[in-house]
Amino acid sequence: MSIRLDTTVGALKLANPVLAASGTFGYGLDLLEFCPPESLGAIVTKGLSPRPRRGNPTPRIVETAAGMINAIGLQNVGVEAFCREALPELRARGAVVVVNVFGERMEEYLEVIGRCEGEDGLAGYELNVSCPNVTAGGMEFGHDPAPLERLTAMCRAATRRPLWVKLSPNAPDLVATARAALAGGADALTLINTMRAMAIDADARRPVLANGCGGLSGPAIKPIALRMVWEVHKALPGVPIVGIGGIETGRDVVEFLLAGASAVQIGTAIFRDPVAPLRIVAELESFCEEHEVAHVAELTGGLQWR
């Protein structure tokens, strides 16, 4: 039986539902011999700001039980270097590229989108309004529905390309932020970003990370991510969701699709295994064969409640 793996996120057609998550796949060209970007449904770039960002002091990462906490601080080369140095090759390879957009102020989000609008071969934007590791921007938009709606609407006015908003699991009211992003004109919601967390060195009596706190990722957060995808899907049926949080296997993907996601992103798993996204695509296909699922898109929202 030949399985159809193609899916759509809003108007965006994807060859398969497995994407590389922002901040775990560089600018798409770092792991060519393990995972060519064109073999994935799409890749989401490292968060890009108008100008290069240095990022946070070290230590920036710490491993925890079934997870890790990071406080990278959005170190990136800036949108100009990305468009000049990486985008031409991504385009030549036929990769589907979603630009993750970050700014400290609303105008900076527009600067990044404005620069990208001049380039062919970009599939869409994902607004990063949920980074827990920077003092300005990021999470402050992601936690409060009113500014989030304003930011999304401004970005909506700046592009006709698909616009996704990556939501924070740290927001006091997840569904309210989801509604705000949609009211502002988002085409899809990505959830979830990392969960605010900390690790403490008992000997030194100090936080392990130089930043104090960071964002927890990996299998430890998968059950929370699944619950959040399901809650948003239930509250806002029909809204395209890109699920993310601790996905390690094809079966994990199926769980996210059943909860209501149309596609998923693989993040921390890439750190363990640079081939992970491709392995996960193969596992997803096997699952569909075994369970006689002809088209992977049939799984979306297919959770049987009781």
Partner 1 sequence: MTHNGGGMIARRDLTVRIAARTDLSPTCFRFILETAEEIAAVPGQFGMVTCGAGFDPLLRRALSIAGVARREGVTRVELMVKEVGRGTNLLRHATVGSTLRLLAPLGNGFTLAPVEGTCLGLVAGGIGLPPVLFAAERLAARNVAFDLYVGAASGGELLDVERCRAAAIAVGGDLVLTTDDGSAGEHGFVTAALQRRLDGGQRYGRLLACGPNPMLAALTRLARERALAAELSLEEPMACGVGVCLGCVVELEDGRYVASCKEGPVFSVDRLAARWWP
Residues with a catalytic annotation lie at: 131
Among 26, 114, 147, 185, binds partner 1 (CB under 8 A): 26
Residue from 3, 15, 29, 183 touching partner 1 (CB under 8 A): that is 29
222 phi, psi to nearest 5 deg:
-60, -45
Q: Min. distance of Cβ 197 from partner 1 in angstroms?
A: 14
Closest CB 298 distance from partner 1, rounded Å: 29
Instruction: Kindly state whether residue 62 participates in binding partner 1, applying the rule CB under 8 A.
Output: yes
Asked if 61 touches partner 1 (CB under 8 A), the answer is yes
- Peptide linkage before 132 cis (omega within 30 of 0): no
Closest by Cα among 62, 44, 13, 260 to 166: 44
Residue 92 · residue 126 · CB < 8 Å: no
Closest to partner 1 by CB, 5 or 19: 19
Which of 6, 38, 80, 89: binder of partner 1 (CB under 8 A)?
A: 89
Task: Give the phi and the psi of residue 80 in degrees, each rounded to 5.
Answer: -65, -50
Number of residues counted as binding partner 1 (CB under 8 A):
45
- Per DSSP, 45 falls in state P
Is there a contact between 208 and 263 (Cβ–Cβ < 8 Å)?
no
Enumerate the H helices of 94-187 as residue ranges. 106-117, 139-143, 145-158, 174-183
Structure tokens at 48: 């890009």
Give the one residue of 206, 251, 272, 295 binding partner 1; rule: CB under 8 A.
272
Check residue 218 for interaction with partner 1 (CB under 8 A). yes
Which tokens hold the place of 33? 């011999």
Residue 202 touches partner 1, criterion: CB under 8 A: no
Chain residues binding partner 1 by CB under 8 A are 23-27, 29-34, 54-55, 57-68, 70, 72, 75, 77, 81-82, 85-86, 89, 218-220, 248, 268, 270-275
